[in-house]
Chain A
Amino acid sequence: MNELEARRLLLADPRHLSDELRDAIAREPALGEFRDELLALDARAHAALTEAPLPHGLADRLVLRARFGGSPPIRLAIAAAVAAAAIMLPWHFIESPSDELAMLDHVRESTWELGDNPGVAPSAARAALAQVGVRLADSTYRIRHLGHCVVAGREGRHFTIDGPTGIVSFVILPASKQPLAADSLRKDNLVAVYEQRGGVLLGAFSGSGMDGAALRQLMKGVIT
């Protein structure tokens, strides 16, 4: 293999080298420098091509919609029930104090999620929420964002909707063995209401002027 041939092969792929090409590079230092230059250029190209941040929760959404998005309701219901049963079981053995406050702080700190608005198909959201043991009602509110969250050391779900007066956030966590410490909280302009249902703790949060009663009513209408 002469040098020109080696350079052509390196231009085609500087990363995956044949034994013959490796030998040629070992014999000729200029080939090694050429390869280094190409690898550096590739690294710059790779950085440019992958610099865009990934949408939050992308993999979860892809999996859920691909597997459940187009399924008949009965299959969806079965899948959701099986997933919920599998996930719910260990939650009964987990304890956590101050869950209500931790949920409120989570919503206050996750301000970027309020801006995330790719839109989520109700079927996908329904399947995701079924995994944590709650049912999404057939409401007319558009779901803006859906993702996993970790609050008080436990994994739950967080979603936002376009509510009647603005964005409303919901957080669903596996309930601890502790009784509900507070059924409503307020920090600055963020109002929160909570409800414990079976094995889950639900929280609804509004910073757009809804009072506790209206928010509780909305929560009952969105999560059944």
Chain B
Amino acid sequence: MMRLIGRTAGHFDQVVRAYSAELFHFALWLCRDRHRAEDVLQEALTRAWRRWGDVKDEGARKSWLYTIVRNEFYREAGKTRRNEMAMDDELLAQIPDERDFTRGLEVRQLLASLPPAVIEPLVLQNVGGMTCEEVAAVLGISVGATMTRISRARSLLRKNARAADGAAPVAEEIAK
């Protein structure tokens, strides 16, 4: 029994050390506050430790941790997950593609200027290095919907970045 606990603890330590940096950056993006991000991450990992044995497929461990961090953020923020996920694709498509005020902005500012629900899948893919399937697992939506959201978020970011860089506008048909 002690050996089993020791093995589990060792594995937990190893996984936390491997993913703590990217999970912190994801939490920081969600919270926009360092101390709050660390609190959210701490609480999430405490919950993860209690249910460490629930994950049978180690390949799903990272997505599982991201899901717990994300849930902890929404729980702590007093928001329901359903409310946060209410950004449907129609609404997404109505967001203006070109914004003159983005001219001269850094990518960091462009990211901050976009609604979190719009770019969350892109942030998960970017920070966590996830595939669309893994992002879909974290968000609890289909792979197709995930691909659509990421495509539109990246397209929007690209257009704004090009506008900010003073480059020529991109072809419209891609984003539609």
A residues whose Cβ falls under 8 Å from a Cβ of B: 4, 7-9, 11-13, 15-16, 37-38, 41-42, 44-52, 54-55, 58-59, 61-63, 65-67, 69-70, 118
Contacts and interface: CB of A to CB of B under 8 A. Distances in A.
Closest 8 CB pairs of A and B: A48-B108, A12-B147, A11-B151, A66-B49, A44-B107, A59-B20, A66-B45, A66-B46
A49 B127 contact: yes
Contact of B150 (A12, A44, A52): A12
B17 to A, nearest CB: 5
B117 interface: no
15 contacts: A12-B151, A12-B154, A38-B154, A44-B107, A49-B29, A49-B126, A50-B21, A51-B108, A52-B25, A54-B20, A62-B41, A62-B45, A63-B13, A66-B48, A67-B12
Interface string B41-82: 110011011000000000000000000000000000000000
B174 A11 contact: yes
B16 interface: yes
B151 A54 contact: no
Contact of A67 (B20, B49, B125, B155): B49
B5 to A, nearest CB: 9
B132 A13 contact: yes
B174 to A, nearest CB: 5
A8 B174 contact: yes
A70 B48 CA distance: 13
Nearest to A15: B129
B103 interface: no
A43 B155 CA distance: 15
B99 interface: no
A145 to B, nearest CB: 13
Nearest to B146: A12
Interface string B108-152: 100100000000001101110101100000000000001110110
A25 B9 CA distance: 45
Nearest to A79: B9
A14 to B, nearest CB: 8
A77 to B, nearest CB: 15
Given A11-B151, A41-B154, A59-B20, 10 more contacts: A8-B151, A12-B148, A16-B132, A44-B161, A51-B108, A55-B34, A58-B20, A62-B41, A66-B12, A66-B48
